[in-house]
Chain A
């Protein structure tokens, strides 16, 4: 089912068990942050890992999803799942427009265009009245799920976030292992050949971009509800780098890598937060080390050692 290999099914079971047991040991708010970023990184990995497109502006979709979810939850009093869904649709809408522009160029230009368009979103968010500028949208209520199940306690929220992450994770896995996913991988390996076989690769790339930005928006919306706040940090250029780094540390194009990377980097950030700028310096160093020595990432290296596709 879902195209899991035996090792991947084992890995998935372990991940579910970990998610279920972790709140007994660790602080649920921290875990929710990890899960939101894990979904974000998985969404990003869908593009870089399976289509070979490096989007360097993915925080724009995450951040806009977060702003819109926060805004509708606060001002319209929408329920949790609707707010998050609207966040996802915002990401997808923006992704549809930006993706349509960006796929006109390939390779490194694609990365630069996505980065530049994301910077435009940042400037928009600084100026637009609805985002609250430097203050952001604060005191977003944790709206009840389906309008009835209260979400005030951290544990209730945690189970919802876990469900959102797992659904997103399974959706990505399903996409990758569908016929559509096979074409995506064909484009990654050899685009001219995919074209010669009759695939309209631009359409496939665009569709993958929209799916990825949809899930990024969902992740952003969920994060806004967890923390009750949506701010400019979510759309800043440093955030683009963070999601790239998470996927890179975990392993680009691996199933579990991005989630593992999100866990490692969020933990590192929490631990190093009191050292101020050393977070940035450490992140930069990890970037350099990963590119020079561990291009397959942690999970990729592990899978290589065990001869498994994780």
Chain B
């Protein structure tokens, strides 16, 4: 058996793939957080709940309406995105003139409500969601067997992240969005409907979280706590990357997933805390974050 630093190579590959998958979720979620924060100036604590909601919608579509994985991958983000639009129109838009901390508190309250309702309806034990048939077989890469679904998650997440980056950096819509992030009043003076843009941005962020949720449904069991476990780690990811750059949050997300995977191989006790340790080190060396502006 081939060994790397005293560990079997296959174990290393296995944990690296798991790390990449976690990294894919970190990237998708921190991307959504960064976009929402950039436009709305709100830290969306409900992001984890929206992620969980995506998984639940996919589960409900399958079990109540018989709609399978592939349509759900499109439908669940749309449904949760609409929910996000409603949330922004009814609650969040009341906060734009207030201190940042109220946004955090309000969305924290929303997260509690959504998770409490989900626990009430479905209990806190997880419900399984089967992997779609096409992706259930492992791929033989020559040096390792890779479950096809895991490869799909990483590729899909990477593609969606890059597409989001392209939309924001390279299209006219994206340039308006960036301009509004810099100076909303000026953009409004040019005739752009900024309030509508804020609403749609929140909806898009919610849809991104739901997309991650559907991707996660077959890997983790679908349960009401799946989001809150993730979101706090994602906050650390956001602090490490800094919220200034879209590409930065993607790179940081994947990178930290890999670091977590490596820690699982070499020092498993620290695997759940390593991201927070990295955060502490980054804060000491570069308080604004790796890609952030001071």
Q: Are A119 and B232 neighbours in the complex by a CB distance under 8 Å?
A: yes
Given contacts A280-B119, A287-B105, A292-B91, contact A241 B112 (CB under 8 A): yes
Of A11-19, A67-75, A101-109, the segment with at least 4 beta carbons within 8 Å of chain B is: A101-109
Interface residue range, chain B: 35 or more
Give the distance in Å from the alpha carbon of A270 to the alpha carbon of B104 in the complex: 27
Residues on B with C-beta less than 8 A from A207 are none
Q: Are A280 and B91 neighbours in the complex by a CB distance under 8 Å?
A: no
Q: Are B235 and A112 neighbours in the complex by a CB distance under 8 Å?
A: yes
The DSSP consensus for interface residues of chain B is: helix
Q: Are A283 and B112 neighbours in the complex by a CB distance under 8 Å?
A: yes
Residue among B37, B109, B238 with max Cβ neighbours from chain A (10 Å):
B109
Q: Are A124 and B273 neighbours in the complex by a CB distance under 8 Å?
A: yes
Number of A-B contacts (CB under 8 A): 118
CB contact list, A272-297 vs B, under 8 A: 276-281, 283-288, 290-292, 295
Given contacts A127-B269, A281-B116, A286-B109, contact A291 B100 (CB under 8 A): no
Residues on A with C-beta less than 8 A from B269 are 127
Q: Are B113 and A116 neighbours in the complex by a CB distance under 8 Å?
A: no
Q: Are B280 and A101 neighbours in the complex by a CB distance under 8 Å?
A: yes
Residues on B with C-beta less than 8 A from A102 are 283
Q: Mark A218-247, 1 if CB is under 8 A from B, else 0.
A: 000000000000000000011001001000
Residues on A with C-beta less than 8 A from B283 are 101-102, 104-105, 113
Q: Are A276 and B120 neighbours in the complex by a CB distance under 8 Å?
A: yes
Asked if B236 lies at the interface with its beta carbon under 8 angstroms from chain A, I say: yes
Q: Are B104 and A116 neighbours in the complex by a CB distance under 8 Å?
A: no
Asked if A123 lies at the interface with its beta carbon under 8 angstroms from chain B, I say: yes
Give the distance in Å from the alpha carbon of A24 to the alpha carbon of B168 in the complex: 65
Give the distance in Å from the alpha carbon of A295 to the alpha carbon of B95 in the complex: 11
Asked if A54 lies at the interface with its beta carbon under 8 angstroms from chain B, I say: yes
Asked if A9 lies at the interface with its beta carbon under 8 angstroms from chain B, I say: no
Give the distance in Å from the alpha carbon of A241 to the alpha carbon of B105 in the complex: 9
Give the distance in Å from the alpha carbon of A276 to the alpha carbon of B119 in the complex: 9
CB contact list, B97-111 vs A, under 8 A: 98, 100-102, 104-106, 108-111
Give the distance in Å from the alpha carbon of A169 to the alpha carbon of B236 in the complex: 33
Q: Are B239 and A107 neighbours in the complex by a CB distance under 8 Å?
A: no
Q: Mark B222-253, 1 if CB is under 8 A from A, else 0.
A: 00000010001101101100000000000000
Q: Which residues of B contact A (CB under 8 A)?
A: 37, 43, 91, 94-95, 98, 100-102, 104-106, 108-117, 119-120, 228, 232-233, 235-236, 238-239, 269, 272-273, 276-277, 279-280, 283-284, 287
Q: Which residues of A contact B (CB under 8 A)?
A: 48, 54, 56, 101-102, 104-105, 107-109, 111-113, 115-117, 119-120, 123-124, 126-127, 237-238, 241, 244, 248, 276-281, 283-288, 290-292, 295
